[in-house]
Amino acid sequence: MQHGANVVGSRSCPVRFLGQDYDKLHQDFVRHRARFLDSSFPPEQSSIGPGILSAREAASVVWIRPTKMINNPQLVIGGESRFDYTQGELGNCWFLAAIGAITFQKDIMDQVVPAGQTFTKDYAGIFHFRFWRFGKWVDVVIDDKLPTINGRLIFVHCKTLNEFWPALLEKAYAKLCGSYADMSGGYVSEALTDFTGGVHMTLRLAEGHPELWNLMYSAARYKSVMGCGTPPGTTPANTELSNGIVEGHAYTVTGVTKVMSHSESVKLVRVLNPWGHTEWNGNWSDGSPLWNTVSEENRTRWFHSKEDGEFWMSMEDFCGSFATLDICCFSAAFLDGSSPGTWTSAQYEDCWDTNTSGGSMGHMESFWRNPQYRVKIPALSPDSQETQGWNLLVSLMQKPVGKHRDLQPRLHIGLGVFPVPPGMKDQKGFPASFFASNAPVREAEACINTREVMESFRLSPGAYLIVPYTRNPNETSSFILTVHSKSKYDH
């Protein structure tokens, strides 16, 4: 969520992660002609974490600054590109897929990778990056020592050997998560949110969404960032299928378009494998003869045959190959193609404690104790040409208390949305009897132990009650509830 200018935690005034002030540290080390060494994320095995390297590999690790690794190191060469990097020995394709998405948005990249950082002028071995984290922007300081074996970077690395923005960005996020190992395994939605602080929704493609193409097309028009994931399959992780798709893998959606082929309109989706190679080989792939059936203008504009991990596929093949689609945008207006001013966002930081943790709806005698939030959905104007689209998006995110992302025991969480009868619109707190006689708008999703639960709704006009809950009563955790609601309609 965006905060007002100069408010601590806003885009323009991020929180100093672990209290480290980049500007002050940088000035001090420049003045003393010294190189920064980060004691809060030291260049040693504890920062890599367990389970990634064998004992033999771990013993071979040497942490090296880019200035000692290669001549003329650069942070960025010719702008950040989705083709700059290749995944290393870490299962963080979800993170790299999100990086591929934000390289299209200069304003996002400039927020995440602050300007003025270089290996030449006033170089002191210190860099910083910015991420949205649980409701606030944070500024993460790192030293530039990177883990290598035999002089080669272990984790993400650039195809251009003297370019280092992906490796340093990955290190900063590893520090935020607790270690490199804490980044092993995740969902692209998490990284997209942490790069943007935007409105996020996940669609499960197997459920079938008749409006999916229009939603993706609208999302692209609103400069959204998108990612997708394949189902895990029954074979070992990251198994490449005969069609070139990798099972249990995160990808970036880099484009959507329509072309005419044999006098028919074909909807196409462009997808990027963060490995930088291994591509779909079916219809509309780099080697597909179908590209010979489109106009020369469209072929020149959209088609390129190169082993870079990026490929086109039809909308039908996309939905048949991928399990989830994640969309992240600065405004919920992409949901219905409206102007951003027609949507309102509210963010609540709260907690479940011994008094306010009533459990899920299977615990009806205590469910009413959960926190309760009101939202109002306006009516369409009588002369409106609009149909009832999505008008409520609710995100529930639990906040960890410890240092390590991957070691947090996450609660099973969920949320319910209940219609409020007209006679109860001034009700302050809803008792057990209300929930015993009023069902949620849609059957609540099963509680899941994930960082975030997101639900989107098409609701009739009226007042509603949002109730976030844990699976069992008396489970305690802090959480952030974000409510994006349609507040008015375009004329």
Q: What is the pLDDT of residues 31-52, one digit of tens each?
A: 999 999 999 999 999 999 999 9
DSSP assignment letter at 240: B
Distances (CA, A) of 387 to 379, 384, 458: 11, 8, 10
CATH number of 199-327: 3.90.70.10
Lowest mean pLDDT of 34-43, 177-186, 400-409, name the range: 400-409
Residue 408 has pLDDT above 60, yes or no: yes
pLDDT digits (tens, 9 = 90+) for 347-370: 999 999 999 999 999 999 999 999
Q: Which residues are catalytic?
A: 93, 249, 273
Contact (CB, 8 A) for 212 and 319: yes
Q: Write out pLDDT tens, residues 113-163.
A: 999 999 999 999 999 999 999 989 999 999 999 999 999 999 988 888 899
Is residue 416 within 8 A of residue 409, CB to CB? The reply is: no
Check residue 266 and give its pLDDT.
Answer: 95
How far apart, in whole angstroms, are the C-alpha atoms of residue 29 and residue 38? 12
Task: Report yes or no: 317 and 311 within 8 Å, Cβ to Cβ.
Answer: no
Task: List all residues 6 or more positions away from 369 whose beta carbon is below 8 Å from its beta carbon.
Answer: 355, 356, 357, 358, 473
Average pLDDT over residues 228-250: 88
Say what the pTM is: 0.88
DSSP class per residue in 42-109: -SSHHHH-TTSS-HHHHHH-EEE-HHHHSSS-BS-SSS--TTSEE--SSS-HHHHHHHHHHTT-HHHH
User: Best-predicted range by mean pLDDT among 14-28, 65-79, 195-209, 384-398?
Assistant: 14-28
| Fold classified for 342-401+408-486 | Jelly Rolls (2.60.120)
The per-residue pLDDT of the chain, averaged, comes to 90
pLDDT above 60 (res 491) = no
Q: How far apart are CA 383 and CA 373, in angstroms?
A: 31
Structure tokens at 183: 């980044």
If we measure between CA atoms, which residue out of 371, 489, 404, 397 comes closest to residue 450? 397
Cα 336 to Cα 210: distance, rounded to the nearest angstrom: 14
Q: Binning pLDDT at 50, 70 and 90, where does residue 164 land? A: very high
Q: Where are the domains of the chain?
A: 15-187, 199-327, 342-401+408-486
pLDDT in tens, 281-328: 999 999 999 999 999 999 999 998 888 899 999 999 999 999 999 999
Task: Report the C-alpha gap between 374 and 372 in whole angstroms.
Answer: 7
pLDDT at position 443 over 70: no
Q: What is the DSSP string of 270-316?
A: EEE-TTS-----STTSTT-GGGGGS-HHHHHHH----SSSEEEEEHH
Rounded to whole angstroms, how far apart are CA atoms 337 and 490?
A: 10
